[in-house]
Structures are given as C-alpha cells and as structure tokens.
Amino acid sequence: MLFRVCFVCLGNICRSPIAEVVMRRLLEDRGLDGQVQVSSAGTGDWHVGERADERTLAVLARHGYDGSGHRARQFVAEAFDDNDLVVVMDSNNLADVRRLAPSGDDTDVRLLREFDPMATDMDVPDPYYGGAQGFDEVLAMVEAACRGLVEHIEKDLDA
C-alpha cells in the first residue's frame, strides 16, 4: 500500500515545495520512494500553476536539490481523500486546513516541526517577504524535520 503525504503552506511556492523536494530525496536515500508518495499544495489560490519562487529554486539548487518541476496547486477539501498525512508549515496553515476537513475525516494533520526533536518553535516562518537568508533558514528547518518525518513514516510502514 502506498502512503501519501502532502505538505501545505500558504501559496505553495516557498516552504511546501522545499519540503516536497527534500522529502523525496530523503525517501529515495532510504529506499522508501516506492512506498511513499509526496506532494505539496497551498491554502491560497494566488499562485496556482506557477513555478516555485526563484529564491526557493535558488536555495534548493545551492544545496543539490532540483525544484524546477514544481507547479503550485491549491489544497482543497477533496485532498483529504487523497492523502494519509497532511503536513503543514505553521499554525495558520493548520487552522486553514482543519477548516477544510470534511466532517468525520480522520486524515492526520500535523505541523512539520513536530517531527524535529530539537525544534522549540513549531512554525516554519514564511520567507516570502524577506531576503535569501530566510530561505536558507527554512531549508535547514525543513531538512531537520523531514529526517524525523521519514523515521515516523518508516515506523508506520513497518507496523
């Protein structure tokens, strides 16, 4: 059975595409890419169909990742049917996603940084209105949390 995870942020051009790309690499490195499907989306519709932010693509490229294939999409209520786990970037995304959940839906919705045992703040800050350094910080947070998420998923797959 395929385990499906979707990363969600506000516009799907900064944080969630970074998480999607990082997670795919980590799963591939662990040999789990055939068992886990990864996607991303945004709660808003402003960027649907667009590529990731240029700063997102740049930070990914600087660290050996390729985000060039990303196209933004919106997270909608029907996405709960298509995912086993929805991982959001901050508490605002969490509230927005939970509002979309159909009554009685049991899809697991979690904050990404819950999977980083060293995290003190559970929100991944939105780097959109800042400079390149914010994207570097987001990538570091995402990498740390995604390592923990891979371990969490691996335990679920083994159960």
Task: Tell me whether residue 9 is one of the annotated catalytic residues.
Answer: yes
Give me 142's structure tokens.
Answer: 């995402």
pLDDT band at 65 (very low <50, low <70, confident <90, very high): very high
For 2, counting Cβ atoms within 10 Å of its Cβ (0-12 exposed, 13-18 middle, 19+ buried), the class is exposed
pLDDT at 124: 98
The residue annotated as part of the active site, out of 84, 90, 116, 126, is 126
The residue annotated as part of the active site, out of 6, 14, 15, 73, is 15
Domains in the chain (CATH in brackets) are 3-158 (3.40.50.2300)
pLDDT, one tens digit per residue, over 86-143 is: 999 999 999 999 999 988 888 899 999 999 999 999 999 999 999 999 999 999 999 9
Task: Tell me whether residue 108 is one of the annotated catalytic residues.
Answer: no
Terminal Cα distance for the chain, rounded: 12
Residue 159 has pLDDT above 80, yes or no: no
pLDDT, one tens digit per residue, over 5-43 is: 999 999 999 999 999 999 999 999 999 999 999 999 999
Is the full-model pTM beyond 0.95? yes
- Encode 132-144: b = buried (16+ Cβ within 10 Å), e = exposed: eebbbebbebbbb
In the predicted model, what is the mean pLDDT of residues 152-157?
A: 91
Of the candidates 108, 121, 114, 124, the one whose C-alpha atom is nearest the C-alpha of residue 147 is 114
Task: Tell me whether residue 55 is one of the annotated catalytic residues.
Answer: no
pLDDT at 71: 98
The residue annotated as part of the active site, out of 9, 90, 113, 116, is 9
